[in-house]
A = this chain, B = another copy of it.
Amino acid sequence: MSSILTPSTPRRATVVTLSELAGVAPSTVTRALKGDTRISQKTRDLILGLAKEHGYMPNALARTLSSGKSGLYGLVLGPAENPFYTELLHEATRQAEKLGFRLLIIHAGAGPIEDTTAQALIQYQVDGCIISSAILSSKAADICAQNNVPLVMVNRVALSHGCFVTCDNRAGGAEIARLLIARGRRRFGLVYTTSTSSTSREREEGFVAELEQAGFTLSHRFDGHSNYDGGFEAGREIAGLPADQRPDSVFALSDIMAMGVLDALRLASVDVPGEILVAGFDGVAASARPIYDLTTIQQPLSLMIQRAFELLQARTLDPNLPDELIAMRGKLVVRGSTGRA
């Protein structure tokens, strides 16, 4: 390999090749590019000029070997169908871009995460990891814990290792209950999920506890299977009941299930909010569509992501910081699906 770039060897400029062009040591080049004032202004200007002229871009991988910081964060996503996760990905990507680092997609969607996939977090020396799926997270979480990689769960409660940033699900569930009670409803339906998800369990717990505190109980439970089709089937089941035996309000534990419920009720000509009030949780953009006009708890996604990155960055600097467990209040957004009292 020639030591100076020539037209016939379109190899990228490196610190070494720039040092040869400038007649200085590679460490001088590195220091000049970093603005180290121990290198004279004249030398710094020379090196910066050459770097620009030759289109120098640092090799992030070599840099990581030396410095120990990769500028990469791993991301484990939840199911494709739920737009909440799509919005989470886009917001995380947008904020990462602004902060100058990159996201390595470790896993997306359903199905088990493979050992080799979780191991990629360590192999690529990610500076931290954001996980947004409960079922899939345990392998990734374990491997992060074993290797001292900072970990933040977003929209999930971490059971052992790592920080989390969630919406205050219980408070949100309670808030929906209060709204439905205030609207005069008395037969409360829940579209739930049997997933082991802490998120769903807490939302349900918050909802049920608030009902009980007001002297009411759940009248119906429908398994919504965490997805649109499950919500739709729940809606069909509700519509299939005699009118006087249906719930007069329904809380679906996520917007995607609520949207399924609403579509099924619409196709069955069940009047929302006249006959049944419907509420969801998450606050995805689609919940605002006129066809849904869905009352929901809006998770503060942008702030949750921002806080997640802050937690990760703080723990990159100081690996011994204690875990932080942050719950943020969601905002009740009242729309047409629960009437506009």
Q: Does A203 contact B (CB under 8 A)?
A: no
User: When chains A and B are docked, how far (Å) is the Cα of A257 from the Cα of B304?
Assistant: 30
User: When chains A and B are docked, how far (Å) is the Cα of A58 from the Cα of B123?
Assistant: 6
User: When chains A and B are docked, how far (Å) is the Cα of A328 from the Cα of B7?
Assistant: 39
Q: Does A129 contact B (CB under 8 A)?
A: no
Q: Does A138 contact B (CB under 8 A)?
A: no
Closest residue of chain B to A10 (Cβ to Cβ) is B148
Minimum Cβ distance to chain B for residue A319 (Å): 11
A57-B119, A64-B61 known; A104 and B103 CB under 8 Å? yes
Minimum Cβ distance to chain B for residue A232 (Å): 7
Count residues on chain A whose CB falls below 8 Å from chain B CBs: 59
Q: Is the CB of B291 within 8 A of A266?
A: yes
Closest residue of chain B to A55 (Cβ to Cβ) is B146
Give every chain B residue within 8 A of A289 (Cβ-Cβ).
228, 232, 263
Q: Does A59 contact B (CB under 8 A)?
A: yes
Q: Does A306 contact B (CB under 8 A)?
A: no
Q: Is the CB of A59 within 8 A of B102?
A: no
Q: Say which one of A20-28, A79-87, A163-171 lies at the interface with B.
A: A79-87
User: When chains A and B are docked, how far (Å) is the Cα of A301 from the Cα of B10?
Assistant: 35
Minimum Cβ distance to chain B for residue A308 (Å): 15
User: When chains A and B are docked, how far (Å) is the Cα of A290 from the Cα of B97?
Assistant: 38
Q: Is the CB of A123 within 8 A of B57?
A: yes
Q: Is the CB of A108 within 8 A of B89?
A: yes
Q: Is the CB of A97 within 8 A of B114?
A: yes
Closest residue of chain B to A228 (Cβ to Cβ) is B289
User: When chains A and B are docked, how far (Å) is the Cα of A262 from the Cα of B340?
Assistant: 25
Give every chain B residue within 8 A of A146 (Cβ-Cβ).
55
Q: Which listed residue, B64, B80, B264, touches A90 by the CB 8 Å rule?
A: B80
Q: Does A125 contact B (CB under 8 A)?
A: yes
User: When chains A and B are docked, how far (Å) is the Cα of A96 from the Cα of B108?
Assistant: 11
Residue among A93, A100, A286 with most chain B CB within 10 A: A93
Q: Is the CB of B87 within 8 A of A80?
A: yes
Q: Does A333 contact B (CB under 8 A)?
A: no
Give every chain B residue within 8 A of A87 (Cβ-Cβ).
80
Closest residue of chain B to A120 (Cβ to Cβ) is B102
Give every chain B residue within 8 A of A131 (Cβ-Cβ).
none
Q: Does A12 contact B (CB under 8 A)?
A: yes
Q: List 16 other contacts, CB 8 Å, given A93-B109, A263-B290.
A: A57-B123, A80-B83, A80-B89, A80-B90, A81-B285, A89-B108, A93-B108, A96-B105, A102-B124, A103-B105, A104-B104, A105-B105, A263-B289, A264-B290, A267-B290, A267-B291
Which A residues lie at the B interface, using CB under 8 A?
Answer: 10, 12, 55, 57-62, 64-65, 70, 72, 75, 77, 80-81, 83, 86-87, 89-90, 93-94, 96-97, 100, 102-109, 111, 114, 116-117, 119-120, 122-125, 146-148, 228, 232, 263-264, 266-267, 285-286, 289-291
Minimum-distance CB pairs A-B, first 5: A263-B291, A93-B108, A60-B123, A80-B90, A61-B61
Provide 19 A-B residue pairs closer than 8 Å at the C-beta atoms, listed in order of the A residue.
A12-B122, A12-B147, A57-B119, A59-B123, A60-B120, A61-B64, A62-B65, A72-B104, A77-B93, A81-B285, A89-B89, A90-B108, A93-B107, A93-B108, A94-B109, A102-B106, A102-B124, A228-B286, A232-B290
